[in-house]
Amino acid sequence: MRGAIATGAGIASGRAFAQTTQAQFSPLAEGQSGLRALALYEGLEHPWSFCFLPDRTILLTERPGRMRILRVQGQNAQVTAAIQGLPAVHAEGQGGLLDVITSADFARDQTIFFSLAQATDRGARTAIFRAQLQGLGLGRVQMIFAQKQDPAGRHHFGCRLVIGPDGYLYASLGERFSQAKQAQTLDNHFGKVIRIGLDGSIPKDNPFVGRGDALGEIYSYGHRNPQGLALHPQHQSLWMHEHGPQGGDELNIISAGRNYGWPVITYGREYVTNFRIGEGTSRADVVAPIHYWIPSIAPSGLCFVSRSSIDHLRGGVLIGSLKERCLAFLRLQADRVIAEQRLLSSLNARVRDVRESPGGEIYIMTDESRGAILRLTL
């Protein structure tokens, strides 16, 4: 029987998670670790995500609508031409070609899953596809999910993807900025984490299945714009971070059926007026974040470090920062953040994604007009 997503200890025992904020570690420690970022390839146009293939190559996406393969050879890399067969991509504002992951049995079935912004007659929506990677082309391309609503606008599409130990696909969906209030209702896909079968089907044990006022795909709700999603390497719980507005970026452990607050309960403030948003920062029925950032760091990408040969990173979490243009490193003690440190603050580039390879190497991706793939080294 496939394993299910584990529930975080704090929720399972009926108590709140211990919260931390970067202010508790202020001034935020500057990395004195001796880490360097070795540039392997530069010249990607606003790359957004990447994953590792069994032959040690890297499959990556560029937001304007290209998917490529990067072949790493020592301290250099070469990138292929664009892979053919992608569906049309709505590359406007924050929209475009987004996340990409492989199936658990990619070596046999060559299956990948990817998310993108898709234009419609009325606006745009986040959609998820599966396909087979066949050389430099895609075959058997199938859309397995699309947001029910498709408003106009260029913001907050999400969308990170994870296949859980239960064999289902989890995806983080943004609330499209203009639809923030709908993150609190269950008749739409705005500001939600969804859980679906690899064919797009709805699992019968999803938390809201059978409710007339709810969409069956919904797993959790009350999110803003989640751009980091990963499984804890030990207990397989699902961790996610999301952008706040002005302040209030959050790191959460996601559990079935729970409300994570946006836009009613938040540490964020309005952009122009600096006024508080919603009712406050806590409520009994809302799951509190285990860590939050004031001011915002604009997090993107989320990586548990479990195999790296860089000892002082192992056991922690790496998160890309678009605003601070660096890596944020969180040291953990169980499900509690006990220290935070900035790494590579001299990089001066928007870090969009960070991943640990099967061999324990850590790669980062910068979101620039000439974006790069870099490898961490001592």
Which residues are catalytically annotated? Answer: 156
The torsion angles phi and psi of 33, rounded to 5 degrees, stand at -90, -10
By three-state DSSP, how is residue 228 classified? strand
Alpha helices, H only, 172-305: none
Amino acid, single-letter form, for residue 274 = N
3-state class percentages of the chain: helix first, strand second, coil last, to nearest 5: 5, 45, 50
Write the burial class of residue 274 (CB in 10 Å: 0-12 exposed, 13-18 middle, 19+ buried).
Answer: exposed
Q: Distance (Å, rounded) from C-alpha 2 to C-alpha 237? A: 14
Within 10 angstroms of residue 262's Cβ, the number of other Cβ atoms is 29
By three-state DSSP, how is residue 22 classified? helix
Q: Distance (Å, rounded) from C-alpha 167 to C-alpha 196? A: 9
Sheet bearing 66-73, strands edge to edge: 47-52, 58-62, 66-73, 76-79
Token digits for 32?
Answer: 């004195």
Residue 307, C-beta contacts closer than 8 angstroms, at least 6 positions apart: 314, 356, 358, 359, 360
For 306-344, the DSSP string reads -S-S-GGGTTSEEEEETTTTEEEEEEEETTEEEEEEEE-
Within 10 angstroms of residue 339's Cβ, the number of other Cβ atoms is 14
Residue 222, C-beta contacts closer than 8 angstroms, at least 6 positions apart: 183, 184, 191, 259, 260, 261, 262, 264, 265, 286
